[in-house]
Structure formats: structure tokens, C-alpha cells
Amino acid sequence: MKNTGKPASKGPKIIPRSAHGVSRDEFSKSALKVLYRLHKAGFQAFLVGGCVRDALVGLHPKDFDVATDATPDEVRALFSNCRLIGRRFRLAHVRFGREIIEVATFRAASNHVDDDHAHDDEGRIIRDNVYGSIEEDVWRRDFTCNALYYNIADHSIWDFAGGVEDIKQKHIVLIGDAQQRLREDPVRMLRAVRFAAKLDFTVDKSVSKAIRSQADLLTNVPAARLFDEFLKLFQAGHAERTYDMLRDYGLFAQLFPATDQEIEQDDAFASFVRAALRNTDKRVAQGLSVTPMFLLGVFFWAPARRLAADLRAEEKMSESQALSLASYELSGQQQRRVSIPRRFTVPMREMIALQPRFTTTRGKRALNLLEHRRFRAAYDFMMLLAEAGQFDPELARFWTDVQNQSPDQRAETFQIHRKPRAKGRSRRRRRRPKAGESS
């Protein structure tokens, strides 16, 4: 168990290319270009983190992070396609078309009062730009499986913290004291869950204990950052297992308190949420698109219905209007925990508000539902409710079949009949006088 934040007395365990089996073919050509240029300029250059971990477990890496002893300014001097970002962590982004390779300078612990480093009152790191060596940098990493360095100089892997062995044992282990490391960055709790769900690993006991005792620290994390984590948690193809772990650790209640409360009280809603998570994972596995708007709508469904019922009891309004207003109010409350961009909250509210309209199958208003810009999302949402046994399957079948009908068939299905024109003398159109004629 890794429970010390101090550097080990010996150097890294260096695993040669012949022993680790990771091929450069697994890595981005752009990342390799950055590594080779840094190395040629006399700097140390390593791939580090998830890309090395994923290559070791047989997954195809997608994100490529470079660690080096070059400072951000030195990196920028080497690459014309580079820009520096960040205040909390100063980084270099090297852009190749749409691909960005992130380059970070080795970091060290803060030991001097004038170091560019700061914590808030809860112990969370809010700025960390103290540069050091690779031996110091490794102890700034979060988990042992993410503290593996692929050296471009000889294609070996450097392992300072026993990450290779923990990967073999399928363990998520924090580097250093678990309680302290989670206080430094509470998002590490979510990352532990995400990696465990993705890799089918177990979370080390010391980490599990620390998460359960400090789950409320997530309220100290900027809400915008938690939205980014929400996307990674629920759109990577492991949403159901992630959800189970978040609920087990008490983290889901920190992210979506209103949803968690309804899940505790309503078994039917809990089943609906699980069906939506499975559907999301299925779509990701099939290479289909997923949108956070849909799953957020699922999370808000029961709280919105409860609030809508209260609103209708207070004021006279339709069920659709009440659901729209309820979704709006819930979105506002949610911003304090997970900040959801307006480009997702607006269509989500429309999708939820359309649900009562699926119960009407006659008239022009029902027909016009097919042309609504959110019809497809609302239809998929309704079908999921039907599959979960919470919407009339006959009505679901009706809305499925009507989409394949011709305009004339739809008019008949929705019982829309055009009124015949009244008989009578038609008005004779007055001829416009030609040029030169008197009017």
C-alpha cells in the first residue's frame, strides 16, 4: 500500500522495451513529434499518465500528455504551433490541426514562501507551478497507475511508485496519504471511480475509506469543473458501473442531490435511471452519438414531475408548462453543484415539457408534434419510459408507426379533415388595363 508522500530512496524501476510490450504504433504521431523534438533539443521527454496505462492494459490510448524538464516558455520556443494556458497549472498546448498535445513541466513540492503555489482553507490546491525533476514530479501524480513514464530516448517505461504491479493486481492506489491527497484535489474521488469503472479495477481500501469520509469536499470544487467530470464519468461507455460506484460512495448525492433523493424514494424512477444508463453504454459501444442533455433530462425527470405537480396546485397551467418551469427551476438549483451550460439545459427542458403531448393522438396539435425540433429526443425519452414500464406501450407504438406514414395517411390517423370550400359564385377577377388604355 502506498501511504507515503516522500520520494523513495532508490530511483525508478526501468522496464526496457523488450519487457513491457508497448508499441509506439499505439501512440499519436503528433505526440511522438513533440517527444522527438524535445529530445533532440536536449530535454527529457516522456509520455505520462493514462496513455501509458491504457497501452499496458491493451486499450487504445486517446489522450496523450507529455512531461518534460523544459519550462513552458522553452516549449513555446520550440513550437510555433504552441500556446501557454492555465493559472492553476501552467501548461503548453501544441496544436496539430484538431489534435492538441498537452506538455507539462516536471513539478516539485513547494518548500519556499516565494514558490508559485497556494492552497485554499480546505487544503485544495489552487495554484501549483513549482518546477522540479522527474523524481519529484512522480509524487505530484494522483494514482500509481497514472505515474508511469514512457521514455522516448530508449522506449523504456519508468515506474517510481509500483504502478505496473498495481495494474497487474487491478488496483486503484493513491500515491501518498489518501486523506491528504483527496483534500488537495477532491476531484480525485471521481477519478478513482472513473478509472475503476473503465478498467474494471478495484479501489484500494485506504482510498475507499478516505472517499467515504470526505465525499462532501466535492462542494468545494468549482461547478464548471464538475461538469467536465460528469461528461467523462457518464459518456465513456461505463455509465452504469460508474453510477453504482458513485452511489455506493455517496458521491452521486453530492453531484445531483435532487435526483439522489428521488431515487431513494421511488423504485420506478431508479429503474428508469438504470435503463437510461444501460442505453447510454449500449450506444457508446455501437459507436453512436450520445448527448449529456438526454441523461440530464433523465436525472431531472422525477424531481421535475414532483415540482410540476406543486406548481399546478398553486397556479393554473398546463402540465407541459409546469414541467418546463419546474425544469428551469431545477436547472438553476443544479448550477450550484454541477454547472450545466445553457446549450444543454434549454433542449433538456423542451424535451421534458413535450412528454405530456404524447398522450394526445388526435388533431393538428398532435400532428404538429412530429415537426417539433425536439421531437426525436422527446420520442427517444418516451420510448425509454415505455421500455421501463412507465408509459403506455400502445401509445409508444402509435408514435413509432406514424413516423413512417405519408402526409395523407397521417391526416387520416390524426383525424384531420380539410373543410370543403363553400359553393357559390366565384368573384370575377378585374382585368388590369394595358398601357395606353383609360381606366
Rounded CA-CA distance 315/27 in Å is 60
Closest CA to 104 of 115, 116, 93, 96: 93
Phi–psi pair at 126, nearest 5 degrees: -110, -10
Instruction: Indicate the residue type of 255.
Output: L
Query: Within 10 A of 374 (CB to CB), how many other CB atoms are there?
Result: 19
At residue 99, the 3 state secondary structure works out as strand
The DSSP line for 239-285 is HHHHHHHHHHHT-HHHH-HHHHHHHHH-HHHHHHHHHHHHHHHHHHH
User: Hey, what's the cell of 228?
Assistant: 467536465
- Asked whether 294 and 249 are in contact (CB, 8 A), the reply is no
Active site residue 281: no
What's the burial of 437, exposed, middle or buried (CB within 10 Å: 0-12/13-18/19+)? exposed
Strand partners, 91: 85
Smallest CA-to-CA distance from 27 within 157, 162, 194 is with 157
Instruction: Report whether 167 contacts 56 (CB < 8 A).
Output: yes
- Going from the C-alpha of 393 to that of each of 136, 201, 383, 384, 438, the distances in angstroms are 61, 39, 8, 11, 71
Q: Which three cell numbers stand for residue 237?
A: 461507455
CB atoms within 10 A of CB 86: 14
Contact partners, residue 412, CB within 8 Å, separation at least 6: none
Contact 75, 42 (CB under 8 A): no
Active site residue 65: yes
DSSP state string for 207-230: HHHHHHHHGGGGGGS-HHHHHHHH
Residue-level length of the chain: 439
Is 142 annotated in the active site?
A: yes
Residue in 54, 69, 137, 142 annotated catalytic: 142
Tell me the β-bridge partners of 15.
Answer: 157
Cα separation values, 381 from 275, 286, 336, 391, Å = 11, 19, 26, 10
Name the helix (H) or strand (E) containing 237. none
Catalytic residue among 54, 65, 185, 260: 65
For residues 307 and 293, give the distance between their C-alpha atoms in angstroms, rounded to a whole number. 20
Q: Which of 63, 116, 200, 392 is catalytic?
A: 63
State the catalytic residues.
Answer: 63, 65, 142
